[in-house]
Amino acid sequence: MEIRNKAALDLVDQMIELCKPDQVVWCDGSEEERNKLQDKAVETGVLDKLNQEKLPGCYLHRTDPNDVARTEKLTFICCRRKEDAGPTNNWMDPQRAYAETGANFVDSFKGRTMYVVPFIMGPAGSPFSKVGIEITDSIYVVLNMRIMTRMGQIAMDQLGEDGEFTKCLHCTGDLSIEKRRILHFPEDNTIWSFASGYGGNVLLGKKCLALRIASYLAKQEGWMAEHMLILGLTDSNGEKTYIAAAFPSACGKTNLAMLIPPESFPGYKVETLGDDIAWIRKGADGRFYALNPEAGFFGVAPGTSKKSNPNALATTRSNTIFTNVVKTDDGDVWWEGMGKDTTPAHGIDWLGKDWTPASGEKGAHPNSRFTAPACQCPCISPDWEKPEGVPLSAILFGGRRAKLAPLVFQSFGWNHGTFLGATMASETTAAATGAVGVVRRDPMAMIPFCGYDMADYFGHWIEMAKDDPNAPKIFHVNWFRQDDEGNFLWPGFGDNLRVLDWIVRRCKGKAGAKETAIGYIPNPEDINTDGLDISRETLEEILSVDKEAWKAEIPGMEEFFAKFGDKLPKEIRAEIDALKERLGK
Ligand code: GTP
Ligand code: SPV
Ligand code: MN
């Protein structure tokens, strides 16, 4: 491998000194290297080979039972001044973080191989792209990074002699929760991860670099790093509209990005550009261009079925690493919600134990995942690797709200849209450790991922589109409204196209709406319900605004904003005052 970057060589030397590996391997990203690592992973029990006739190139991995999701409590922003991390982040003094976790890294690679993984977030040569180098003791990490990023020699070539890169260090350690730390040093462009082997904690290009570090860089450099899918929607006239959407973890980004239109929408097509992260910049024409910095999908397995998301299922039939799903007796995979008639009579569950459906236990962990190359997705957009990204017409915010939030509404403008993002709330999911189903404020779906003070982040949003006629229109959606028995009121999935269709027509000034206290809401007849079995009553219910219930939301919003004190942008304060005014005293 050709390595010309002196800083990269120096970093590896320093880390060898600290961690004392038995050997060091620079990963070039070749097919040969992949085969070698896969074989070694199978030999050492890290990966289980699946049925290669049914699932060529597919493997299964099981994490430690105490290491199945992101650990937000153990995730820190380590900047010099506590106030720069803001009230929603865990903060640790960088000196203390380096000293404490540095002590754990001492000799931590003894008896192990140090893999050096250069990677690019974004396509090679794109002005959006950023390079990172992850040093890890885990073959699972190397093989996942190979799917999720542009990895190997290609990244060293992009780096050249003096390019800058994010320094990422990971050690699996003993997986003890006491020592587990996910540390971000934005001022040093550095990430340290210790004692975890779970995706979001260890695939350091993803949430750690592409959101936490990138959001910090984006604020300084005048762009945006967001927890958003990107899709292209072609309508029956052949016109294409690009949309980005921010939903919290396990709230439907992958599903929306790969949506298949209902049969009653002939000529409509959704193409996927990204399912989790969008980097957004203003182009020379003043429009907002979005690019997916990842090269693969690290998607939620449970609930993925032929019915709900056939595109995701098809993407994962080769060259995919499954984590914490069921292995069936013929070497295939299974998870809850894979659909009717798919349940095996017997399998090995995510804990590695014999499992039958009669056991009453879940076979796959609720946060079990697949890592699959984006290029294998049947509906991948031909534009997904465009170095300049794609121009956005709309940005959607949404979450899981059993009550209150209507199916869809449009903001009055950019500042009001930013306010909708800033007041997002959603029920927690299995994507992070902790209670599930509790409503929490999750602005822009970034509460676990913003690398600096969120008050400044809101200010950055406002700043990005000041008086800008080219700014995308902002909408709020909620696929998760429930009746009193807990049944979903909206069919969701493919039928979400009906909402996207209204959004696209709104962007073109061609769809009706009524003005309400919270924004523009479609009248029931503005949503195309051809071929949909939904009662007028239900539709009216999910398109209604309960003023009293919205008034009752205000104290929660105020309480959340109070955390930011004087730093909260005056534009956000003005929006909450305007909302109160519209709702009436
Ligand atoms: P992360 O990868 O954690 O960021 O998640 P994500 O936002 O990509 O979520 P994903 O699309 O994987 O969906 C998570 C869960 O929500 C799955 O179990 C889906 O079946 C479910 N889901 C997605 N879309 C809908 C919908 O429109 N309606 C309902 N009821 N459930 C949905
Ligand atoms: C999420 O939790 O939002 C994910 C999975 O996309 S992870 O990479 O673990 O963050
Ligand atoms: Mn995510």
Domains and CATH numbers, the chain: 6-46+70-221 (3.40.449.10), 226-292+384-567 (3.90.228.20), 297-376 (2.170.8.10)
What separation, in Å, do the N-terminal and C-terminal C-alpha atoms of the chain show?
68
Provide the token pair at 486. Answer: 């807990």
Cα–Cα distance between 193 and 173 in angstroms, integer? Answer: 10
Single-letter code of the amino acid located at 467? D
DSSP 8-state symbol, 372: E
**Which ligand has the nearest atom to the CA of 251?**
1
Find the helix or strand (DSSP H, E) in which 233 lies.
Answer: strand 229-234
Q: 287 CB less than 6 Å from ligand 2?
A: no
Q: Which atom of ligand 2 is nearest to the CA of 198?
A: 9
* Residues composing the chain: 585
**Which ligand has the nearest atom to the CA of 206?**
2
C-alpha of residue 573 to centroid of ligand 1, in Å? 32
Burial of 226 (0-12, 13-18, 19+ CB in 10 A): buried
C-alpha of residue 200 to centroid of ligand 2, in Å? 5
Q: 206 CB less than 6 Å from ligand 2?
A: yes
**Which ligand has the nearest atom to the CA of 482?**
1
Tell me the catalytic residues: 251
Q: Which residues of 465-483 are buried (b: 16+ CB within 10 A; e: fewer)?
A: beeeeebbbbbbbbbbbee
Protein residues with CB under 6 Å of any ligand 1 atom: 247, 249-255, 275-276, 299-300, 302-303, 308, 431, 479-480, 488, 492-493, 496
C-alpha of residue 462 to centroid of ligand 1, in Å? 29
Q: Where are the beta strands (DSSP E) in 267-399?
A: 269-274, 278-282, 288-291, 296-300, 321-323, 326-328, 333-334, 347-348, 354-355, 369-373, 390-398
Partnered with residue 296 across adjacent β-strands are: 373
Cα–Cα distance between 408 and 242 in angstroms, integer? Answer: 18
C-alpha of residue 214 to centroid of ligand 1, in Å? 25
Cα–Cα distance between 260 and 257 in angstroms, integer? Answer: 9
Q: Which of 68, 70, 204 for a ligand 2 pocket mutation test, highest count of atoms within 8 Å of Cβ? A: 70
Q: Which of 227, 255, 498 for a ligand 1 pocket mutation test, highest count of atoms within 8 Å of Cβ? A: 255
Q: 327 CB less than 6 Å from ligand 2?
A: no
523 closest CA partner among 539, 510, 534, 507 = 539
pLDDT in tens, the chain (585 residues): 999 999 999 999 999 999 999 999 999 999 999 999 999 999 999 999 999 999 999 999 999 999 999 999 999 999 999 999 999 999 999 999 999 999 999 999 999 999 999 999 999 999 999 999 999 999 999 999 999 999 999 999 999 999 999 999 999 999 999 999 999 999 999 999 999 999 999 999 999 999 999 999 999 999 999 999 999 999 999 999 999 999 999 999 999 999 999 999 999 999 999 999 999 999 999 999 999 999 999 999 999 999 999 999 999 999 999 999 999 999 999 999 999 899 999 999 999 999 999 999 999 999 999 999 999 999 999 999 999 999 999 999 999 999 999 999 999 999 999 999 999 999 999 999 999 999 999 999 999 999 999 999 999 999 999 889 999 999 999 999 999 999 999 999 999 999 999 999 999 999 999 999 999 999 999 999 999 999 999 999 999 999 999 999 999 999 999 999 999 999 999 999 999 999 996
Q: 431 CB less than 6 Å from ligand 2?
A: yes
Residue owning the nearest CA to atom 10 of ligand 2:
200
Cα–Cα distance between 451 and 472 in angstroms, integer? Answer: 24
C-alpha of residue 427 to centroid of ligand 2, in Å? 16
